[in-house]
A and B are shown apart, each in its own frame.
Chain A
Amino acid sequence: MIEAILQYQFLQNAFISGLIIGVIAPLLGVFIVVRRLSLIADALSHVTLAGIAGSLYLSQSIGALALLNPLYLGIVASVTGSLFIERLRRLYKHYEELAIPIIMSAGLGFSAIFISLAQGFSSDLFSYLFGSVSAVSQQDLWIVISIAIVVLLFLMLFYKELFVLSFDEEYAKASGLPAKWIHVLFMIVTALVIAGSMRIVGILLVSSLMTLPVAAAMRIAKGFKQALIFSVLFGESAVIIGLVSAYYLDLAPGGTIVVTSIIILLLTITLKK
């Protein structure tokens, strides 16, 4: 397979972006899980689907947009969705979780409309839903690299604050930390990672790369830093094993990556027992 990777550009793109996503998705996922926001990733992935489906429809119906990379509208939809979630969480202060089904159904509703308008379920859309080894373009790879730089910078600059916010939000506010703004930035960065990950893992499975490696890491980690390290190790293992098996077995990489993550999770559960 190494020969094939060296030979084919699309495989290089898939592997490099997979390796990058294997780091940033679980890294951010640790904060998502400990803040009990796991379902937000799902809601945002469905909103991203609306952006992708909208973009595919536009490129089909407007000639000038034929070459528009659907990832751009996917990113816009995901970030907009994250800001709406925040707004709704504040509006329904006592029922914060309501924001998730509202945004998720809005995302699915728009997706269904755009897919119907596009008159069908193209194979391109299928690759967005479940990921694809062959669909990652050079442009997609650059988008993933740019997102990774933003995410890593964000985590490096706000690590201390994110830790306090995740552990004890009231204490963070009492300490005078700008909790609201850091949270909004966190949501935007989460939206970026979801949009960036979907080429490899697929929209329907992207949240699993943010939660399954973390769930496994939390079984064995002692301390927060260890949880971060184990999550990345498990995320990377799942991506590498998943991509290799997807290539050889001609399967959607989203499925093989998630199944590998589940096997890792089951192993940690069994070993910890």
Chain B
Amino acid sequence: MPNQLIHLQHVYYQYEQTEALKDITLTIDEGDFLAIIGPNGSGKSTLLKIMLGLLKPTKGEVLLFGKPAPLFKERELIGYVSQKSNAFNTGFPATVEEVVKSGLTKKVGLFHAYPKNVQSKVKDALTSVGMEMFAQKNIGDLSGGQQQRVFIARALISNPKILILDEPTVGVDSENVRSFYHMLSHLNREHQITIVLVTHDVDAVSKSISHVACLNQTIHFHGFQNEMNSMSDEQLEAWYGHSVRKVNHQNEVQL
């Protein structure tokens, strides 16, 4: 039986009067490449924040690596690439190397200096995302796609078991989006890193992912990517909130 890395049990979340998430039960196993997809305002980012322990559910339980979220301290096991990384202050005077190194901050701990082998760790992390040539560049001088790779390297440097990405390809051109997902796929298969990402771009990720969760306040479908075909038009409509048409195209589903 695969290791359960994240498990949500009947989770609810409410922003003041608005119910953002309703009765979410979801398990992410080791090795999964899960895309959480849904329309705007469907609660995708809220769900990720609950998984990361940034938000406390109104009701329900979250287990991280088998432990209740508030008791889970080994944060370095979860790598995070936020949506906001795309909109960071591009004038920030930091080199790629400095940004990637900062991914070790929590692991190293308060009042401790970076380990002596930090340079080789930075190099390894940058190599795994194909950015080793850019170590001395200022982060603001890179393209959106390159910056996202750097942020993944920052997440990878602490050897996480799971990588959580929030809309990682916002502002990245379509050519780079493809190579970006190819890189994630490589990390998932070759480095055995479990990947969870939220996106509304199901077409772009469909070749890379193993599992899909269709979210719109609640989970309308969760299973293997190729099983999405089994969703009826009614289910699709309930999920997307308005009339959608499913098109089968070489064993892939497009909406």
Name A's B-contacting residues (CB within 8 A): 34, 36, 157-158, 160-161, 163-164, 166-168, 170-178, 217-218, 221-227
The size class of the interface chain B forms with chain A is 20 to 34
Question: Which residue of chain A has its CB nearest to the CB of B166?
Answer: A170
B137: nearest chain-A partner, CB-CB: A222
Please, how many angstroms separate the alpha-carbon atoms of A117 and B195 in the complex? 66
Q: How far is the CA of A182 from the CA of B244 in the complex (A)?
A: 48
Residue from A158, A166, A175, A226 within 8 A of B106 (CB atoms):
A175
**Which 5 A-B residue pairs are closest in the complex by CB-CB distance?**
A176-B75, A223-B95, A227-B93, A175-B106, A174-B80
Residues of A within 8 A of B52 (CB): 174
Residues of A within 8 A of B95 (CB): 222-224
Q: Are A225 and B98 in contact (CB under 8 A)?
A: yes
Bitwise interface map of B from 189 to 219 toward A, beta carbon under 8 Å scored 1, else 0: 0000000000000000000000000000000
Checking A34, A164, A173, A225 against B105 with a beta-carbon cut-off of 8 angstroms, the contacting residue is A164
| Contact yes or no, B88 A167, CB < 8 A | yes
Within 8 Å CB of A218, what residues of B? Answer: 91, 93
Q: Which residue of B lies closest to A231 (CB)?
A: B93
Could you say which residues of chain B place their CB within 8 Å of the CB of A170? 54, 82, 84
Q: A160-B114, A174-B82, A175-B80 are in contact. List 16 more A-B contacts (CB 8 A).
A: A160-B108, A163-B102, A167-B88, A168-B88, A174-B54, A174-B75, A174-B80, A175-B76, A175-B106, A178-B110, A217-B93, A222-B93, A223-B97, A223-B98, A223-B136, A227-B93
A176 and B92 contact, CB distance less than 8 A: no
Which residue from B76, B80, B111, B114 sits with its C-beta under 8 Å from A171?
A: B80
Restricting to B88-120, which residues have a CB under 8 Å from any CB of A?
88-89, 91-95, 97-99, 102, 105-106, 108, 110-111, 114
Distance between Cα atoms of A262 and B147 in the complex (Å): 33
The answer, yes or no, to whether B25 is at the interface (CB within 8 Å) is no
B138 at the interface (CB under 8 A from A): yes
A133 to chain B, nearest CB (A): 33
Bound CA–CA A168/B148 (angstroms): 13
Of A178, A218, A224, most B-chain CB atoms within 10 Å: A224
The verdict on A161 contacting B138 (CB below 8 Å), with A174-B82, A221-B93 known, is no
